[in-house]
Amino acid sequence: MTRRGLSLLEAVIVLTVGVILLLPVVNFLIVTQKSAYKGLDRLETLAKARIVLEKTQRDLKNFCFSDTVGLTIASDANHFVAIFPAYPAAYTGALYSGDENPVNLITYTFDRARKTLARSVKVHPLLRSDFPATPEILATNVGNFSIERRVILGQTFYDIRILILPSSAYVKNAPTELRTSVRSEFEARLERHPHFITNRRSTIDLPPP
C-alpha cells in the first residue's frame, strides 16, 4: 500500500473551499463587532448627554434674578456662553432674609472648536464651597449646546439642547441629541405669589469680580 500526498491542485482546491467556508464566519464577526461598537458608543453618548442635561436642569431650576442680574447669553462662531446666578442646590447652612440673597454665579462655556462643554461656579463668600476653582469639563465630543429663553402663555421656560458626537468611527453619522425645558422655581413662585415675596426687587448680593 502506497501513501500519496496532496497534489498542488488538490491543495489549492482544499484551500479555496476552506476560504469560501470561512468568509461568512469572518463577515459575521466583523458585523457583530461593528454592532457592538455602535451599541457601546450609543450608550456612552447617551450617558454623557443625560449627565449634562440633568446638571443644567438642576442649575436652571435654582436660577434667580433681580432688576440688574439675570441670564446672560453670548454666542459667536467659536463659543456659546451662558452666565446666570443660582441659589446653591441642597444648601443646609445659615438662612438669610430681607435684602441678603447670597447666590452663586454659574457659567456654561461651549467651545465649538474643541467640542468641549465646561461648567464653572463662582461661589459667594458667605456660602461654603466644595466646588473646584477650575472649570469642570462636563462633556467632550460635543456637537452643540444651547440654552434659550422662551415664553409660552405668559410663562417663561428655558430650553436646553445638547448634541453629543460619537467617538467610534463606525457611527460617525449617528449623534445623540437630547432636549428639554425647565422652569426656574424662583420665577414660578414670583408669578404665583407676586405680593407675598417682599424681597422680589432686592439686589442679589453677588461677590465682587
pLDDT in tens, 1-20: 555 556 766 667 767 777 77
Residue 178 contacts by C-beta under 8 Å, 6 or more apart in sequence? Answer: 46, 49, 50, 53, 161, 162
- Give yes or no for residue 27 having a pLDDT over 50: yes
| Number of domains making up the chain | 1
Q: What is the pLDDT of residues 28-49, one digit of tens each?
A: 666 666 665 666 667 777 888 8
What's residue 148's pLDDT?
92
What's residue 48's pLDDT?
84
What are the counts of helices (DSSP H) followed by strands (DSSP E) for the chain? 2, 8
Helix (H) or strand (E) holding 122: strand 116-122
- Domain assignment present for residue 197? The answer is no
- Domain assignment present for residue 65? The answer is yes
Q: Give CA–CA dist 105/63, Å, rounded.
A: 10
Q: Give CA–CA dist 148/158, Å, rounded.
A: 6
- Domain assignment present for residue 30? The answer is no
Q: Count of CB atoms within 10 A of residue 47's CB?
A: 13
Give the domain extent around 85: 36-90+98-192
- Give yes or no for residue 173 having a pLDDT over 80: no
Mean pLDDT of the chain: 76
